[in-house]
Chain A
Amino acid sequence: MTEKTVNDLSIMIGGDAGQGVESSGAGFCLALARTGLQLFALQDYRSQICGGHNFYEIRISDRPLYSHREPIHVLIALTPESVALHLDSIAPGGAVILPEKFEIDEAPLKERGISVDSLPLMKIAEEHGNRLMLNTAALAATAALTGFPLEYMEQVIRENFGKKSAELADTNVAVARAAHELAMERFGEDFPFRIEPPKKATKRMLMNGNEAIALGALAGGCRFVSAYPMTPGTSIIEFLSALPHEYGVVAKHAEDEIAAVCMALGASFTGARAMTPTSGGGFSLMVEAVGLAGMTEVPLVLVDAQRGGPSTGLPTRTEQSDLLFTIHASQGEFPRIVTAPTTIEECFEAGWRAFNLADKYQCPVIIMTDTFLASSLRTLEMDAIDFGRVVIDRGATVKSTDVDGESNGYLRFRFSDDGISPRALPGRGTATITAASDEHDETGHITEDSDNRVRMMNKRMQKLETARAEMKSPILYGPKDADLTLVCWGSTFGACREAVDEINAEGGSSANVLRIIDLWPMREEEVREALESCKRRVLVEQNYTAQLGKLIRMTTGIEMDDTLTKFDGRPFSPPEIKQRLGLEAGSGNEVGPKDLQRADQEYVVRRLR
C-alpha cells in the first residue's frame, strides 16, 4: 500500500466543447465546496461552441488556495485528445479514467506509475439515462476513486436538474449511482490521492472575479450598466441583468461598444452611477468616449477584462497586455484612474470603490482584470463579501436643491485648488448645466481663449495629483528583507503568492511579493522606496513587453533585475514561477509538466535595460 495524500489534489475533466465539461465541473465544485473543502477551479476553453478540446480543472485542499497548480492527479478524459494533451501534467501515482476503450498509448503513463482505467461509463449513461449524462457518470466514478462520498454529488444533481424536471434529476442520480458502484468495485480504496470532507462544514461561496465586481458595483450604487458582449467581460452585464427587478439596475445590451460606453456616459451625466464592462477589443472602440468623459468631467466606470491580444488574439485566454494602453488611451491629456485588483476579494472592493473614485475626481476609472481573474472560481469566506464595508462617497456633488435659484451663478467647471468643481446634476435644480468636448470655460461653454485653456488644463490635471493621495500603496506579501521579491499586478499575484510560500517553506532562500493595485496615478514615492529596499527584483507579468516594468521605470526610474513574462494565454502557476526562477520545484512535482519544460525553451528571461 502506498502512502495516502488527503485533500491536496487536482482533478481535470477534459472533453469536446459541447460535452458539458464546464457545467458538470461547476456542479462538482459545488458538491466539494459544500463539504467545507477549499477549491480553486479554472476553466479552459476555446472560442467555439462545439468541437475543440475544453477542460475544467479543480484543485482541492483544506487550506485557502490562490492559484491552479500542476500536476493533476485525476484526469477524466472524455475524448482521446484529452489524454494526449495532458499526458505530461499527470502526477506519478495518478489516474486516468476513460469512459470507454480508447485507442491510446498507455505505455508512457504506465511507466510513471499512472493507472489508466477504462470503465464502461458511456454504457452506464445510456442504460440508466442517455449519452448526455456521461459527465455525471464520470464524476461519480471520480468520487468513488478518491473516496468522496456520493451523497454530496447527489444533492447538487437534484438541485441542478430538479429545476428542469424531477425525472431528469432521478435519471442522473441513477446514472451516478451505477457508475459509483462500478468504480468502487474496480478501485476499492487503493488510490493514493483522497478527498475527505472536513469534520465541520464551513459555509463558503464559490465565486469568480466578474461576479465579485458586479456585486461590488451593485452595492456601490451602480444602477445602470451597458455593454456589448465580449469574453471575458460579458458575465458582468449578464449577472446584473439577471438580478431581481427590485434592485432597479437597468442593463442595456447596446449595438456596439461605442454605444455602450456612450450610454453609460449619458446615464452618468444625469447623476446615476453607471458602468460599462468589456474586454480589450471593446475597450479599443470606447477610447474616444473615455476622452469625452475626461474632458467633460463625467464620472465613468469601465472594466477591461483583458484577454490574449492583439486584435481577436486568444479570445478565451488570459493576458495582461493592455496596461500601458489603458493608461494612455485616447488623444490629449486628462486625468484617469486605473486600478487592477489582484484577488476576488479585491474585485469586490474595486467594484464599489471605482464609483467613489469616479465621482470624487469626476473622471474615467478603469478596473483591469483578465480572463484568469474574471472567470476562475475560488472558495471565499462568507464575510469576504462584506456589504457593510461598502462606502458610498459621491465627492463634491451639489445636491439638487442647493443649486435652486442659482441658475445664473452656478459654475459647473469652477476653478479650484484641488481641481474639483462641485457637480450639480441636470434637472435637479433650476441651474442649467452645459458640457462640451471642446475646451470650455467655467460655465461649460466653448472657448479657445489661451488663458482659460491653461487654467482649465491645470484644473483638470490637478485632479490627478489630488487623487494620488488616495491611491493604494504597494503591498508587500511575505517576509521583509527577503532574498527575492516578485513584483506583479493583477491576477498573477495568486501564483506569485503560492510560489513564495513554497520557497519560504522549503528553506534555503527567502522570497516575498510586491503587488501594485492602483497603477494610475501611482504612489510613485512609495513604489520607489519599496523597490529600493529589495535585494533582487523579479517582475512577473503575463505579457510580452513587461509593461508594469516599463511603467515603474517611467515613473520611478527603477529597473528590475529580472523579468518573467508569459504570453501563451495560459496563466502562470506556482511551480512554473519557481522553475523559471531556477528554484527547485516543490515535492510531489518531480515530473516536469509540459508547460514548464516548454517555458524554458521558448520564453526569454530578459533583463530590462
Chain B
Amino acid sequence: MDPRIYNAPTKNTWCAGCGDFAILRALKLALAEQVIAPHEVLVVSGIGCGSKLPDYMNVNGFMTIHGRPLPVATGAALANPELKVVVVNGDGDSYGIGGNHFLHTCRRNPNITHIVENNQVYGLTKGQYSPTSDKGYVTTTSPDGSMEMALNPLAVALAAGSTFVARGFAGDPKQMAQLIVAGMQHNGYALIDVLQPCVTFNRVNTYDWYRSRIYKLDEMDETYDPSSSEAAWEKAHEWEERIPTGILYNREGIPTYEDQVIQLRDNSPLKGTLSLWDDPRPEQYESLKEQFV
C-alpha cells in the first residue's frame, strides 16, 4: 500500500527538524505495510505538539484533551473492536497529567498501540520540564534544575503489567515503523516510547545526545529474549551511558481486556446499538420487570 494514502491536505505546524515528523512517517509506513485502509484505523491523541499528529493524517482521528487519550481510546476499542486503535501523545500528556490512565491501561491490557512522543519536555507550552526530564534539567519552571527523579516509563509499564514494551528513536523511522507494526500485531496493549528530540526547547537531549547513547537490542545481542521479564526489567533500567532501543518485552498469549468481556463475544456495543436502531425489540426487556415484583 502506498503510504501517501494517509496524507492529509492540512498544513503542518511542527518546527523544522522536530522528531515528530519521523513518528508521523513511521506510523504511515507501519499502516501501509499492514495494508490498513485509512477508515479502518482510529488515531487518538491528547494535547501537545505531538498530539497534533492526527491532524496531519487521513485516518479517523480524535484529538481529545490533555492527558485523556488512553481512556477515550479504551472506550472506542471496547465499543468497536474492529477499529485498529492507536494512541499518540507526548510525555507530559502520557506520563504526567495522564499518568493514572497510563498505569491502569498497562494492567488492563486493551488492544491499543500507544506511541509516546517523549521529548523530555513540554513543547507546546514552551519548554517546561516534564516527568521524563532528567534530574537537574533547567527550564522556566525549574530554574534551579528539576528536583524530581525522571520517571522511567518502561520500568513503570513493566511493573504495571504491560505485555509489550518497546523504545524507538525519532532518528530512525524505519526501526520505529517496525516497532509500530509489531505493537499493532501484538494482541493487547503495546507501549512504544519514542525518544523524540525537541529542537526548539530541549537543548540537552538532542539528536546527537541520543545517537551517542542508543544501541539496538536485537543487533547487540542476538540471543536477547523479549519474553523474559527479568531481561526486560534490566534493560529498562539502562539510561545514562547506554540506551537500548527495540522491543524490550513482548509477552504473547495473555488475554486482552476485550477477550475477557463476555458481552463482546457475539456482538459489540456499536453493533448492538446499530441493530436496535432498525429493530428496537421492546419485548426483550419485559421479563426484567419481574425482579421488581
Which residues does A use to contact B, with CB under 8 Å? 34, 203-207, 211, 215, 218-219, 221, 223-224, 226, 243, 245, 247-250, 252, 254-256, 258-260, 262-274, 288-289, 291-292, 296, 380, 382, 385, 387-388, 390-392, 394, 400, 407, 425-427, 429-438, 444-446
Contact = CB atoms under 8 A, between A and B. Distances in A.
Contacts of B280: 219, 221, 390-392
A388 to B, nearest CB: 5
Contact of B282 (A270, A387, A407): A387
A289 B273 contact: no
Contacts of A382: 289
A146 B44 CA distance: 63
Interface in B105-132: none
Contacts of A392: 276-277, 280
Contact of A255 (B73, B79, B83, B101): B101
B263 A207 contact: no
Contacts of B65: 288-289, 291-292, 437
Given A255-B101, A426-B39, A435-B62, A250 B264 contact: yes
B283 A266 contact: no
25 contacts: A221-B277, A250-B269, A255-B101, A255-B104, A259-B70, A263-B75, A263-B78, A269-B75, A270-B270, A271-B80, A271-B270, A272-B269, A288-B65, A291-B65, A387-B283, A391-B280, A392-B280, A426-B83, A433-B61, A434-B55, A434-B60, A436-B62, A437-B47, A446-B10, A446-B63
A427 B8 CA distance: 17
A203 B293 contact: yes
Contact of B79 (A274, A289, A394, A433): A274
Contact of B68 (A243, A270, A289): A289
B40 A266 contact: no
A258 B80 contact: no
B60 A433 contact: yes
Nearest to A295: B65
B167 interface: no
Most buried by B among A256, A292, A426: A426
Contacts of B266: 248
A226 B75 contact: yes
A432 B292 contact: no
A431 B40 CA distance: 10
Contacts of A433: 60-61
Contacts of B72: 262-263, 265-266, 269
A272 to B, nearest CB: 4
Contacts of B75: 224, 226, 252, 262-270, 274
Given A266-B74, A390-B280, 16 more contacts: A206-B292, A245-B263, A250-B79, A250-B261, A255-B104, A259-B101, A262-B68, A265-B64, A266-B62, A271-B273, A273-B273, A288-B65, A400-B274, A425-B270, A426-B83, A436-B61
Nearest to B268: A272
Most buried by A among B47, B76, B262, B267: B76
Given A248-B269, A435-B61, A266 B285 contact: no
B293 A274 contact: no
A210 to B, nearest CB: 12
Most buried by B among A260, A266, A425, A437: A266
A221 B273 contact: yes
Contacts of B73: 266
A205 B293 contact: yes
A427 B42 contact: yes
A437 B64 CA distance: 6
B54 interface: yes
Contact of A436 (B63, B262, B282): B63
B71 interface: yes
Contacts of B55: 434, 436, 445-446
A445 B59 CA distance: 12
Contacts of B40: 427
Range of interface residues on B (Cβ < 8 Å): 35 or more
Contacts of A269: 62, 72, 75-76
B272 interface: yes
Contact of A205 (B68, B104, B276, B292): B292
Contact of B60 (A215, A426, A445): A426
Nearest to A393: B277
A413 B54 CA distance: 17
A270 B79 contact: yes
B285 A219 contact: yes
B270 to A, nearest CB: 4
Contacts of B61: 432-436, 444
B263 to A, nearest CB: 5
A249 B284 CA distance: 14
Contacts of B101: 255, 258-259, 262
Nearest to A431: B39
A219 B272 CA distance: 12
The 3 closest A-B pairs by CB, nearest first: A266-B75, A263-B75, A267-B79
A259 B98 CA distance: 10
A291 B100 CA distance: 21
Contacts of B284: 247
Given A256-B100, A434-B54, A445-B8, A426 B42 contact: yes
A156 to B, nearest CB: 12
Interface string B1-45: 000000010100000000000000000000000000111101010
B286 to A, nearest CB: 6
Contacts of A435: 61-63
B276 to A, nearest CB: 4
Contact of B39 (A207, A385, A390, A432): A432
A258 B293 CA distance: 36
Contact of A207 (B38, B272, B292): B292
Nearest to B38: A432
Contacts of A255: 100-101, 103-104
A258 B76 contact: no
B78 A267 contact: yes
A445 B282 CA distance: 40
B206 interface: no
A385 to B, nearest CB: 6
